Copies of this chain bind each other. A is one copy, B any other.
Amino acid sequence: MVSTMKIRQLTFRLLQVYADVVRTGSITATANRLHLTQPTVSQQLKRLREIVGEPIVRQEKGRIVPTEVGQALYQLSQDLLSRADVFSQYLEEYNRGGRGHFSIGLVNTAQYVLPRLLGPFSQANPQVDVTVEIGNRQQMLNRFERHEDDIYVFSHPPSDDDVLAAPFLSNPLVVVGPEKCHWANVKDLSMEALKDERFLLREPGSATRHTFDAWLYSAGIELTSTQQIASNEAIRLAVASNMGLAVLSRYVVADSPKGVQELTLTGFPLKSRWHFVVRRERRLPPAAYRFLSFAEGSLTQAFDEPEGSLAVAELLEALKGAR
């Protein structure tokens, strides 16, 4: 006898129509407002009544007024509809990229420059929450393989099939020595002259190392003494402690130049560039898309030597199709 509401059949459409009927107090009026015919609205009400299992409106002096149950139902409708609406707005915001989350994976060196983009972006999009993953090249490649992040920053983009990469900033690699290094005063210094110095190098997988190695090879130079150190920071400190020289991203040095200085060398800085890397296949969260778009627009303000803002624009274009 006491049957609860048949909630399975309840539609938001029904609630919409019902709420409007209660508001207007007229079936005909609602029909007009919602571009339906009067019998349609009548029938919707009937169906809703059946779902609820209880009369929800009655006629009183020509107006439609909700019964007691009807009033409760009206409140419910308002409540549910407005909540759904909030969600809908969230969705819109999400799609616009102004809200949501994305993650970006950086190789170590890039961590020195990305904040200049991420900072202003977060400022401008407080509702977007960004996860920044940092690791050496190999670690990032692993994450990339597992599709763990939305955007990556590499110097040498992996060559996967569906990879899209756009250079956005040049990453000059410079030779650094300790603060009071006598090489600093030598004119027309060349690498040849330094080849017997001890060089502190990143691990072979890293882009910095790879670029340097390749350059040495093409220049036909072989270093006599090297030492491998896993982090840029550690290398910088080691150089400051007179443990040797190193090749580092200029941004690493610029960031905290204490105890080290850049040496001016013929042929240096070595050219290298950071790329935004995304998978063509992956449906980028709108927030991630928005970030790339933001980055493209602010490269010139954020950096002295931006590079490839056009390439980023192209990447965005390529992604648009996949949305």
- Chain A positions within 8 Å of B, measured between CB atoms, are 1-2, 4-5, 7-13, 16, 52-55, 68-69, 72-73, 76, 79-80, 83-85, 87-88, 90-92, 94-96, 100-101, 283, 285, 323
Contacts and interface: CB of A to CB of B under 8 A. Distances in A.
A95 B53 CA distance: 10
28 contacts: A1-B95, A1-B323, A2-B92, A2-B95, A4-B91, A4-B92, A5-B84, A5-B88, A7-B12, A7-B16, A7-B84, A7-B88, A8-B13, A9-B11, A9-B13, A10-B12, A11-B11, A54-B94, A68-B100, A69-B91, A72-B87, A72-B91, A72-B94, A73-B87, A76-B84, A79-B83, A80-B80, A83-B83
A10 B85 CA distance: 12
B91 A87 contact: no
A8 B5 contact: no
Contacts of A68: 94, 100-101, 285
A262 B95 CA distance: 84
Contacts of A84: 5, 7, 10, 76, 80
Interface residues of A: mostly helix, strand, loop or mixed?
Answer: helix
Nearest to A85: B7
Nearest to A67: B285
A229 to B, nearest CB: 36
A12 B83 CA distance: 14
B54 A95 contact: yes
A100 B69 CA distance: 8
B8 A91 contact: no
B83 A76 contact: yes
A83 B5 CA distance: 13
Contact of A90 (B9, B53, B72, B87): B72
Given A80-B80, A83-B80, A101-B68, A52 B91 contact: yes
Given A4-B92, A8-B12, A95-B2, A76 B87 contact: yes
Contacts of A7: 12-13, 16, 84-85, 88
Given A83-B79, A84-B76, A54 B91 contact: yes
Nearest to A73: B87
Per CB-CB distance, the 4 closest pairs between chain A and chain B, nearest first, are: A8-B13, A10-B12, A2-B95, A4-B88
A87 B323 CA distance: 40
A286 to B, nearest CB: 9
A291 to B, nearest CB: 15
Contacts of A8: 11-13, 16
